[in-house]
Amino acid sequence: MALLERKVAVITGGARGIGLAIAEAFVAEGARVVLGDVDEDRAESAAKQLGDPSVALATRCDVTESAEVQALLRGAVDAFGSLDILVNNAGITRDATMRTMTEEQFDQVIGVHLKGCWHGTRHAAAIMREQRAGSIVNISSLSGKVGMVGQTNYSAAKAGIVGLTKAAAKELAHHGVRVNAIQPGLIRSAMTEALPERIWDEKVAQVPMRRVGEPREVASVALFYASAMSSYMTGTVAEVTGGRFM
């Protein structure tokens, strides 16, 4: 039997990059998926690429808005009958050193990553505890482990996601709901391809495996956390970094 046979998964920020790779991995293992993304057109075409509407749907959702996240999750239950997996993946960067970062840039990043993740975890938990089963996977970052120059906003949000994951895992374990986090390192996506070549080369040089990671290499770890393969794991953080900053 496939690892996610008949399971229903919601992936925020699923229109492209790591989120889309996670959706592809889940569909390949028998899941039905709903992609929630601010970019509705891109989410629609990504869902079509994944399969017909009996397999993949797209919903416009801004994760900073509690009501939109709730509607996304309820919509998945209405369309497919349950909510078994949520991946809180939506993300943005607004990099700048503290000298130049605006308060708005700080708030935007905290809003999408930390508050967005809280909205998703909270609303998914309300559904999953009734089902007495579920797996929530939060996408943190290596930046939240070590702190990166120019990312006081992003590093704070991604470290916060680790705390949120562990607290939620403790609150939900006895309801049969697991919550785990992934800290990717340098992964090839639109977010990182925007980096200047010099910075990109410096970062690759810090990776013991001497290469960038591919979105599917994060997706396979999300699949592990989403499936019964990790049935006795909650509150954990997996580093998918090629050994960088181990």
Provide the annotated active-site residues: 154
CB nearer to ligand NDP: give 145 or 231: 145
**Does 159 contact ligand NDP by CB under 6 A?**
no
CB 52 to ligand NDP: min, Å? 22
Q: Name the residue number minimizing CB distance to ligand NDP.
A: 17
**Does 192 contact ligand NDP by CB under 6 A?**
yes
DSSP 176: T
CB nearer to ligand NDP: give 191 or 233: 191
CB 210 to ligand NDP: min, Å? 16
CB 132 to ligand NDP: min, Å? 28
CA distance 9 to 84: 6
**Does 134 contact ligand NDP by CB under 6 A?**
no
CB 31 to ligand NDP: min, Å? 19
Which residues from 45-74 bind ligand NDP, rule CB under 6 A?
A: 61-64
Where does this chain touch ligand NDP (CB under 6 A) — which range of 78-86, 99-107, 179-187, 220-228? 179-187
What is the Rg, in whole angstroms, of the alpha carbon atoms belonging to the chain?
17
CB 147 to ligand NDP: min, Å? 13
**Does 34 contact ligand NDP by CB under 6 A?**
no
CB nearer to ligand NDP: give 37 or 84: 37
**Does 214 contact ligand NDP by CB under 6 A?**
no
SS (H, E, C) the chain: CCCCCCCEEEEECCCCHHHHHHHHHHHHCCCEEEEEECCHHHHHHHHHHHCCCCCEEEEECCCCCHHHHHHHHHHHHHHHCCCCEEEECCCCCCCCCCCCCCHHHHHHHHHHHHHHHHHHHHHHHHHHHHHCCEEEEEECCHHHHHCCCCCHHHHHHHHHHHHHHHHHHHHHHHHCEEEEEEEECCECCHHHHCCCHHHHHHHHHCCCCCCCECHHHHHHHHHHHHCHHHCCCCCCEEEECCCCCC
CB nearer to ligand NDP: give 63 or 164: 63
CA distance 116 to 72: 13
Residue 187 pairs in a beta bridge with: 213
**Does 160 contact ligand NDP by CB under 6 A?**
no
Query: Which positions touch ligand NDP (CB under 6 A)?
Result: 12-13, 15-19, 37-39, 61-64, 89-92, 112, 116, 139, 141, 184, 186-187, 189-192
